[in-house]
Structure 1
């Protein structure tokens, strides 16, 4: 998104020394690269974080918990706890690990089952939210770096314009280039911030859905195992 915003600004803001577009951004970058470079680094971190978190959520949690629980329930009600545990070893997925934690304590009573599954939940839940909160910090950093680049760029520009001995054409060129540089800083910072906010909204909502699904799976497995182990069972 911030790339699209930057491209839009590049097309709209002409640079006096060679037109608009990518050339305008490159001229601004060559003139004063400090804050633009910082935000480009921030943008790379943001992209890497979003890709990593999205891949984790879509990869590790692609198991349909309801269908998987239905298979486990058939095995447990048939007394095939060992086969149910082997089914959980089919992949390194958090949902399967949670179910396995309950199954391996199926014969040790409700307290042991609950303790084992709660301990496993304590390991799984933090991983779901990991690094997502950092997107807010990165959004603030990008915005402030962009604004700082804008302010310092304008200060430098107005100082250069006020220098004696410049023609009207030179003053106009310096002013246009300076304002363009300032706007590139602002646009890049705000574009990164908006991207971070949208990504945080999506990833955070997805993580809440995953956590709810884990809670529901824990409750289903606990109820299944405790009812199954009561006198009379099913």
Structure 2
């Protein structure tokens, strides 16, 4: 393996660094973007129970805010619920924007790696072919070892770049899809809470 990396030339260094970033970000985001941690299923039912039993005070709001990202969103809305439906919705949207921004952290890096890793491989290919043609120009086609070394460098960097880019692209789309799914869930829970507090129609806020 070390011989292959060495044969790939100096461009293997940034490609390997990109691969380490992909692994690290993938593990961190998989642990962080846990739907059960971000949007607990029974949280809204618990909040509604506090409201019905007149237990919702500053302490409960603080507990709710610290419990989960969904709790932060619901707490923001409840803190401004007395000011009317629109103010409550604006508070929820503002808190949700911050939560979504945090959930999408590092996903841009994955997307960037997915785009630049093949380019690094292509650059390695170009450099390898330049070495090949330079060797041909200086030594002719008789030195097979030099020619093989340049071609090998070109192929190794190309393969390494694609090997890093493909998982990076898969992980980016996987986590982006997970974020979108969690956002939809949080929106549904927030809408239920707003409707329950500021609507004449009956709304079921129990967990599904």
Change (3 A) 1:120 1:191: same
Does the 8 A contact of 1:61 with 1:210 survive in 2?
no
Give the equivalent residue in structure 1 for 2:43.
68
State the shift of 1:135 in Å: 2.4
Give the equivalent residue in structure 2 for 1:231.
none
Give the equivalent residue in structure 1 for 2:4.
25
> Given the two structures, how large is their TM-score scaled by the length of structure 2?
0.82
Give the equivalent residue in structure 2 for 1:218.
190
Give the equivalent residue in structure 1 for 2:203.
none
Q: Does 1:107 align with 2:79?
A: no
> Alignment partner for residue 56 of structure 2, among 69, 81, 102?
81
Give the equivalent residue in structure 2 for 1:194.
166
Give the equivalent residue in structure 2 for 1:15.
none
State the shift of 1:158 in Å: 3.1
Distance (Å, rounded) in 2 between the aligned partners of 1:206 and 1:175? 47
Change (3 A) 1:164 1:183: closer
> Given the two structures, how large is their TM-score scaled by the length of structure 1?
0.74
Distance (Å, rounded) in 2 between the aligned partners of 1:63 and 1:137? 26
Distance (Å, rounded) in 2 between the aligned partners of 1:105 and 1:226? 12
Q: Deviations over 1:96-148 (max 9, x none)?
A: 11111122223333233223222212322222223323323222211111111
Distance (Å, rounded) in 1 between the aligned partners of 2:39 and 2:95? 19
State the shift of 1:23 in Å: 4.6
- Tell me how many residue pairs correspond in the alignment: 199
Of structures 1 and 2, the larger Rg is shown by 1
> Alignment partner for residue 97 of structure 1, among 72, 79, 103?
72
Q: Does 1:174 align with 2:146?
A: yes
Distance (Å, rounded) in 2 between the aligned partners of 1:117 and 1:53? 24
> Alignment partner for residue 124 of structure 1, among 96, 99, 107?
99
State the shift of 1:185 in Å: 0.4
Give the equivalent residue in structure 2 for 1:150.
125
> Alignment partner for residue 181 of structure 2, among 194, 209, 220?
209
Runs in 1 of length 4+ with deviation above 6 angstroms?
A: none
Unaligned runs of at least 5 residues, structure 1: 1-21, 229-234
Give the equivalent residue in structure 2 for 1:7.
none
State the shift of 1:61 in Å: 5.6
Unaligned runs of at least 5 residues, structure 2: 201-208
Q: Report the more deviating stretch, 184-193 or 118-127.
A: 118-127
Q: Does 1:55 align with 2:34?
A: no
Q: Does 1:136 align with 2:108?
A: no
Distance (Å, rounded) in 2 between the aligned partners of 1:90 and 1:200? 28
